Amino acid sequence: MKTAICYYSRHHRNTRKVLEAMAREGEVDLLDVTTRQAVRLEEYDCIGFASGVYFGKFQESVLAFARQYLPQGKPVFFVCTYGGGDGSSTKALSEIAAEKGCPVLGQFGCKGYDTFGPFKLVGGIAKGHPNAQDLENARAFYRKIQAQNPHR
Ligand SMILES: Cc1cc2nc3c(=O)[nH]c(=O)nc-3n(C[C@H](O)[C@H](O)[C@H](O)COP(=O)(O)O)c2cc1C
C-alpha cells in the first residue's frame, strides 16, 4: 500500500516525529504542505493529513492542501499532536473528506511538547512527548490503517 501523509509541523517538530515512526511501517511519503507546490495524490492508495493542533485546529495550509489536492473517494486518515488535547481539531478535515466522498479510516493523536505562550514560563507542558510509547502507538495505528486496505 502506498500512502502519502500531508503535514504541517513547526513548533517542536512533534508531529513530524510521529509521522517518521509511522513511515517506518511501510511505503509512506511525507509531504510537507509548506514546501510542496503541486502533487499528484491520485497515485497513492491512501492519504493521511497531519498537523500540530494550533488554537484548537489543524494548520490552515493542511486544510487548503486537502481542498485542492485530495482526489474524490480516496481513503484518508488524520494524525495530530497537541499540548493539552485534540478537542474537535479534525472537524474541518472531516467535512472536506465528506464533501469529496472520502472514507475516514481512523484518527491518531498524542501529546507533543508545548512551550507556547505562558507554558514557556513553566518549562512547557507535555514534556518528553511524543515519547517511545507514543511512537509505538503511532506505528500500531498505521498498521491498522494498512490492514484495512486491499492493496497491502
Ligand atoms: C501557536 C500555538 C498554538 C497552540 N494551540 C494549542 C491548542 O489549542 N491546544 C493544544 O492542545 N495545544 C496547542 N498547542 C501545542 C501544540 O499543539 C503541540 O505542541 C504540538 O505538538 C505542536 O506540533 P508540532 O511540533 O508538530 O508543530 C499550540 C502550540 C502553538 C505553538
Residues 106 and 5: their CA atoms lie apart, in Å, by 13
| Of residues 152 and 116, more confidently modeled | 116
Residue 38: how many other CB atoms lie within 10 Å: 6
Rounded to the nearest angstrom, the distance between the alpha carbon of 152 and the centre of ligand 1 is 33
Burial of residue 29 (number of CB atoms within 10 Å: 0-12, 13-18, 19+): middle
Please write the tens of the pLDDT for every residue from 59-76. Answer: 999 999 999 999 999 999
In the predicted structure, residue 151 carries a pLDDT above the cut 70? no
| Of residues 102 and 39, more confidently modeled | 102
Whether 106 and 97 have beta carbons less than 8 Å apart is answered as no
Burial of residue 149 (number of CB atoms within 10 Å: 0-12, 13-18, 19+): middle
User: Residue 152: its pLDDT value, please?
Assistant: 59
Give all domains of the chain, ordered by start, each with its CATH number. Answer: 2-148 (3.40.50.360)
Record the pTM.
0.97
In the predicted structure, residue 37 carries a pLDDT above the cut 80? no
In the predicted structure, residue 150 carries a pLDDT above the cut 90? no
Q: Measuring from atom 3 of ligand 1, which residue has the nearest CA?
A: 54
**Cell of residue 19, nine digits:** 509521522
Average pLDDT, integer, range 42-51? 97
Please write the tens of the pLDDT for every residue from 76-106. Answer: 999 999 999 999 999 999 999 999 999 999 9
Rounded to the nearest angstrom, the distance between the alpha carbon of 126 and the centre of ligand 1 is 10
In this structure, the residues whose C-beta lies within 6 A of any atom of ligand 1 are 9-16, 52-56, 81-85, 112-114, 116
User: Over pLDDT 70: what percentage of the chain?
Assistant: 97
Please write the tens of the pLDDT for every residue from 99-127. Answer: 999 999 999 999 999 999 988 888 999 99
26 to 71, 86, 143: CA distances (angstroms): 22, 26, 9
CA R_g for the chain: 15
Query: Which ligand 1 atom is at minimum distance from the Cα of 114?
Result: 19
Query: Which ligand 1 atom is at minimum distance from the Cα of 85?
Result: 11
**Cell of residue 25, nine digits:** 511501517
